[in-house]
Structure 1
């Protein structure tokens, strides 16, 4: 896979802040021709640097949401047990992010649900019904001081 040059990096940085730009606007902001911009962005998509383009929704406008950071420790950490829990976690709509971790819990989940009742349902689905879940620690957000989807490179 070829390495990224300055133009690729500029395009990626610009797209991270606003992927809805027209090709003309993106080309102007990146200081390249529209044809070069179109070709470069297509290559970045084809090579997997750009996975997908999405809309970020306003949590404030859509109503209150309960956000929790959840640490999960399994009783048995064999590869098949870790894979089984991970598969169930990533399939659950309430789990927004799932990280396998080391030197601490086995998983850290970022959970977003409507309210405490919805959180309790998630707990029942993912933790209570799984005999391999040894320990769960949940930390509930009281304020989101920063949120970013930008990747530094």
Structure 2
């Protein structure tokens, strides 16, 4: 389903990315729409898959996940069944925050959150070392979270 976005849709998306809990009447006031119009547009944007889901952003250090780790992975074989099995194992692991299948020297880039290096070491055993299709992996440990986000830039003037 293709949905064209007008300036109201774009403004709604921009506002929602800042605060998805904003009441619809306040959202309407910010973008110059009635509450009913906001409700209809949000439903349409969700049904079209433009809004995938609503989520809370939790501060990792407040829930004792103090480490952010980036791992790059090279596979032995890119046969579809092997890749699908790897994707499943990566997506089922709650500590894997993001996973990208990429072109270039590496095949996957994963972003982990972990409570400790011991926890990450155990994850590498489960996800990497026990998998015969992983040729090698490299670990980068973040020293600080400079910028973290999933917001998509919205050009309201289009």
Q: Distance in 2 between matches of 1:102 and 1:56?
A: 29
Q: Secondary structure at the match of 1:118?
A: helix
Match of 1:39 in 2: 40
Q: Distance in 2 between matches of 1:131 and 1:78?
A: 13
Match of 1:142 in 2: 143
Match of 2:22 in 1: 21
For the aligned residues, what is the CA RMSD? 1.1
Q: Secondary structure at the match of 2:41?
A: helix
State TM-score, norm by structure 2: 0.92
Q: Secondary structure at the match of 2:68?
A: strand
Structure 2's unaligned 5+ residue stretches are none
Match of 1:56 in 2: 57
Q: Secondary structure at the match of 1:130?
A: coil
State TM-score, norm by structure 1: 0.95
Match of 1:91 in 2: 92
Where relative contact order (Cα < 8 A, 6+ residues apart) is larger, the structure is 2
The runs of at least 4 consecutive aligned structure 1 residues that moved more than 6 Å come to none
Cα shift at 1:62:
2.4
Q: Distance in 2 between matches of 1:98 and 1:9?
A: 27
Equivalent residue pairs, number:
153
- Bigger CA drift: 23-32 or 51-60? 51-60
Q: Secondary structure at the match of 1:29?
A: helix
Q: Secondary structure at the match of 1:36?
A: helix
Cα shift at 1:64:
4.7
Q: Distance in 2 between matches of 1:22 and 1:39?
A: 14
1:21-57 deviation per Cα after TM superposition (whole angstroms, max 9, x unaligned): 0011100111111111111111111111111111111
